[in-house]
Structure 1
Amino acid sequence: MSPPGYRSSFAQWETRASVRSRPRRHPTAVLGPDQVFFPPELFPVLSAPALADLDPAARQSILQHALYQYLHFTTVLEQHAVLPVTSAISLGDVGIALPEAMRADAYKITTDEAWHAQFAYDFIAELHAETGVPSSALVRPRFVTDLARLREEVEPSLRRLADLLFTTVSETLVSQLLMDIPRDGRIPDPIREVVADHAMDEGRHQTYFRQFLRELWTQLGTAERRFAGPLIPRLVEIFLAPDLGSVEAILRQAGLAPTVVSTALRETYAAVPEGRLAAEARVTVRLFDEVGALDDHATRAAFTTAGLVPA
């Protein structure tokens, strides 16, 4: 089966990419009535019964640190996982043949992602300067450790493929944060704008990686597909699973007692809501299904066990 011709989504990159067309976003230290730094619904531990008596100042502090961690996650994801892969694609160093136009667009994605990492990092520093609240609760995102552990389990010759798949998963998943924050009137404009800039670029990246996946899967051998297919649900889980370490650090910086923190975490994350993973990963799952990955019985079984497809 030959892959369809590549259709670039970067024809207007010079005028539409945030690094080329959007101004620098600078945070404000002043919140208006009913404004918050981060949507509380997207930091669900705040609804735990153990935190029912949390005072407004502590709540606002927690949400500011949640914003810091979200921006830090962006920086680390781009620098640690995405940029090495897009750079390798642009250089033709991923072990598969790609159309020249696809390699050229990978250069543009590399520029975009480096900018996302920079503006997220800069925004944290500027918000600290504006508010006087340091980003003291930042922790290394959980996915870094989980991904390193997975790579150690993988035969060295297959680690590059695992990296390609993780980046494809992360670039095709639809982030609820990217969709919700720009539309949330409770969030100050500069925060909404910096997330909207990111979301605008990621729309093009998702289109690109849909096509990259078709090229990749077509050129994999049978043994590589049998390795890759069952690995995909693990990569989805690594990306989407709650980062309890970061949540705990954020609650601790608010001065909450360790017993309160542990109770709140247990109340919030003891059970994964049925269907949550499948709902968040539905676009990515559909893409892997479209290229035929789920035709393999072991792969479909792995997706089913992970709750990504119905039994």
Structure 2
Amino acid sequence: MDRYRSSFQQWETRSSVRSRPRRHPAPLTATEQLYFPPELFPVLSAPALADLDHGVRQEILLHALYQYLHFTTVLEQHAVLPITSSIALGRAGLILPEAMRADAYKITTDEAWHAQFAYDFIAELGEATGVPSDALVEPRFVNDLARIRAEVDPDLRQLADLLFTTVSETLVSQLLMDIPRDERIPEPVRNVVADHAMDEGRHQTYFRQFLRELWTRLTPAERRVAGALVPRLVEAFLAPDLRSVETILHRAAVPPSRIAAALDESFPAFRSGTPLATEARVTVRLFTEVGALDDPGTQAAFTASGLLTA
């Protein structure tokens, strides 16, 4: 217990909710600017969409940004805040150091702010651009997580929730790393993502330690269940949301046959499997460090999911 080391000593002066101004969007200042990196929306590189004009591509990328911000809001409100609140209140099923509970309150404040500023930014960006955010869909992880929870014993559903939050907080999104450095993106968008990324660095450090505390308190039977769940939870968080991509393209009036072709050209691997090892390598390492992969069943589950190939 006494090995917990807080990364929140300077939270009052460094957290985005305390130290960063509200970010307000503005229209593009140059025709070469983009609202979202096209490399992170790979369907636009599909041969089936090669002849889309520049204006349509710009609008598709704006909707990709809307969906990314919507994902942030839903993730925080639906999955993360209930867990950080339960940790702070001592209702997560394990006894934690008081300092760890106190920091969970700070994470709860951070995550509520992330949801708020992402939601507000979508609304303000719609007003600034004149393009409504009318292609939003519920992120795929919501249904995936519900399905996973329904398949486990009711007594272990809180454990599934704790693990999903740990997975989501220890995975470093490529978007969080790339967008703040991408000068093709308008500065207000880069600032919003940078604010989020700054806070998530502290949260990752916290949940690395939380996982150690959680894993040591699980029974062998619980560890076997947890180990089999983790690859599925990683996939729920990281796998591309093809329904969202399809909805955005439909909103851009791309014919259905071309949408289907573009999805097949852009995401072939995800129709036959989910190779996410590179993106998940930090999280996989954390579970390896706590001894999760010492169990043969867990090792087999991670191997079968492709998480051990990087």
Q: Sort the TM-score into its range (normalised by shorter chain).
A: over 0.9
Distance 2:292 2:50 in 1: 45
Structure 2: 5+ residue runs without aligned partners?
A: none
* Structure 2 equivalent of residue 285 of structure 1: 284
Distance 1:226 1:65 in 2: 41
Shift of 1:158: 0.3
Deviation readout 1:102-148 (Å, 9 max, x if unpaired) = 00000000000000000000000000111110001000000001111
Aligned pairs for 1:114-133 (under 5 A) are: 114-133=112-131
- Partner AA of 1:283 in structure 2: V
Pick one of 221, 242, 245 that aligns with 2:243. 245
Superposition misfits of 4+ residues, deviation over 6 angstroms: none
Distance 1:284 1:214 in 2: 13
* Structure 1 equivalent of residue 307 of structure 2: 308
Deviation readout 1:14-71 (Å, 9 max, x if unpaired) = 0000000000000011331411000000000001010000100100000000000000
**How many residue pairs end up in the alignment?**
309
* Structure 2 equivalent of residue 296 of structure 1: 295
Deviation readout 1:208-235 (Å, 9 max, x if unpaired) = 0000000000111111111101110000
Aligned pairs for 1:134-213 (under 5 A) are: 134-213=132-211
Structure 1: 5+ residue runs without aligned partners?
A: none
Q: How has the CA–CA distance of structure 1 residues 277 and 144 changed in structure 2, closer, same or farther, with 3 Å as cutoff?
A: same
* Structure 1 equivalent of residue 69 of structure 2: 71
Distance 2:218 2:158 in 1: 13
Deviation readout 1:70-127 (Å, 9 max, x if unpaired) = 0000000000000000000000001111000000000000000000000000000000
Distance 2:17 2:283 in 1: 26
- Partner AA of 2:96 in structure 1: L
* Structure 2 equivalent of residue 39 of structure 1: 37
- Partner AA of 1:293 in structure 2: A
**Aligned Cα RMSD in Å?**
1.4
Distance 1:4 1:309 in 2: 32
Provide the identity percentage: 75
Shift of 1:172: 0.1
Deviation readout 1:269-291 (Å, 9 max, x if unpaired) = 12249995110000000000000
Shift of 1:266: 1.1
* Structure 2 equivalent of residue 220 of structure 1: 218
Is 1:100–2:98 an aligned residue pair?
yes
Q: How has the CA–CA distance of structure 1 residues 274 and 261 changed in structure 2, closer, same or farther, with 3 Å as cutoff?
A: closer
Distance 2:140 2:292 in 1: 27
Q: Secondary structure at the match of 2:269?
A: coil
Distance 2:212 2:172 in 1: 19
Distance 2:31 2:7 in 1: 40
- Compute the TM-score of the two structures, normalised by the length of structure 1: 0.97
